[in-house]
Amino acid sequence: MRWTAISAILASLLATPFAGAADGYTMRDFDKVAKIDAHLHLHGENQDAWLALARKDNFRALTINVDYPDFPSLAQQRRVAIAAARQHPRQIAWAATFSTEGFEKPDWSAATLKDLDGAVANGAVGVKVWKNLGMSLRDSQGRLVMVDDPRFDTLFDGLAQRGVMVLGHQGEPHNCWLPLAQMTVENDREYFAAHPAYHMYKHPEMPSYEQQMAARDHLLARHPKLRFTGVHLASLEYDVDRLGRFLDTHPGVNVDVAARIGQLQYQSQRDREKMRAFFIKYQDRLMYGTDLAQSTEQDDAGFVKDMDTVWRRDWRYFVTADSFAVPELDKQVRGLSLPRAVVDKLYRINAEKAYPQAWH
């Protein structure tokens, strides 16, 4: 009975909100450990509120420009990013992007590379390639243009020759091609219910999920020297076994977890040890990110409050063994309690290696 009582006490202690791996961190370490959010979107002219939070929570950031209609213009995104990185070089780095307008013109590739050379000269540490290649861009014949289209070969060859990191967002979450009732996380169900135009299950005339993944893989095969980060877990978030095979096939490629942690947690609920083993095995290839962006309707206080909440909740998942509720799932998830060395790579070291010019 005595040992049973002691075991019960130890189990209770391990279930506290501060519990972590024996060789890991706890919630008490959150603001003590240097961290990087390697995928967010800072659009504000004044970053004082975000900077105050980042310093308090011990975060640096990579803010990424995207050719996304709901974001500010590309010119404004670049101007804001350059200014923020110049004013706060140890806190903020940035990645550029490019417009596909006129991509069929003979001089488009050369002009785009020249423009991106200018971005790099102004501090850009990477170039974002968005899902409009494969999901919305059409050529003069009305045909959908995929990311591996030969008309982009000169661009990707040029980026490979320059050693510029390409941040690739191809396709959507696997849930996008499923009926709402079969989707695995609540945020996907809510989003695609509200945006049926983007719900590919309802658009069989569009490329399938497998066609999107094949185009990305073909791009990497055609340009083997391209430095590449598959953002959003390379859109393979639904199956860490398949994601592992992708990483094995492309040993130079990294991925970030931005906006896909809910799908990882869904798999954690079914096999926590498998998920934990995945993070340990691929510890040198994974980067933390949130994909948070401040909308025009959200004030600075609301934005930083949301960011602080997400940062702390994600840290709890990766660091502790707690069971707790998350917005994406209807049942609690238990944290992975990753070793300290794995957490350091996920939250800082891998991003520093991927973007060696950043945060100096």
Which residues are CB-neighbours of 137 under 8 A, at least 6 positions away? Answer: 100, 103, 144, 145
Tens of pLDDT, residues 51-93: 999 999 999 999 999 999 989 999 999 999 999 999 999 999 9
DSSP tag of 141: T
| Residue-level pLDDT at 12 | 38
The residue-averaged pLDDT of 283-294 equals 97
The winner for highest mean pLDDT among 42-46, 185-189, 292-296 is 185-189
Burial grade of 28 (CB within 10 A; 0-12, 13-18, 19 or more): exposed
Which residues are CB-neighbours of 121 under 8 A, at least 6 positions away? Answer: none
- The Cα–Cα gap between 358 and 360 comes to 6
- The Cα–Cα gap between 301 and 165 comes to 33
Residue 54 CB neighbour total at 10 angstroms: 23
pLDDT value at 30 more than 60: yes
> The tokens of 164 are what?
């510029």
- The Cα–Cα gap between 54 and 92 comes to 10
Strands 59-64, 333-334: pairing is unpaired
Domains of the chain: 36-354 (3.20.20.140)
Provide the total of helices (H) and of strands (E) in the chain, helices listed first: 14, 10
State residue 106 phi and psi, 5-degree precision: -60, -30
| Residue-level pLDDT at 280 | 98
Which band of pLDDT confidence, cut at 50, 70 and 90, is reported for residue 24?
Answer: very high
> The tokens of 247 are what?
């990483």
Provide the percentage of residues in the chain whose pLDDT is more than 90: 90
Question: 86-122: string of b/e by CB count within 10 Å (b at 16+)?
Answer: eebeebbbbbbbbebeebeeeebbeebbeebeebbee
CA distances from 41 to 44, 111, 294 (A): 9, 25, 7
pLDDT value at 151 more than 90: yes
Tens of pLDDT, residues 249-287: 999 999 999 999 999 999 999 999 999 999 999 999 999
Which band of pLDDT confidence, cut at 50, 70 and 90, is reported for residue 22?
Answer: confident
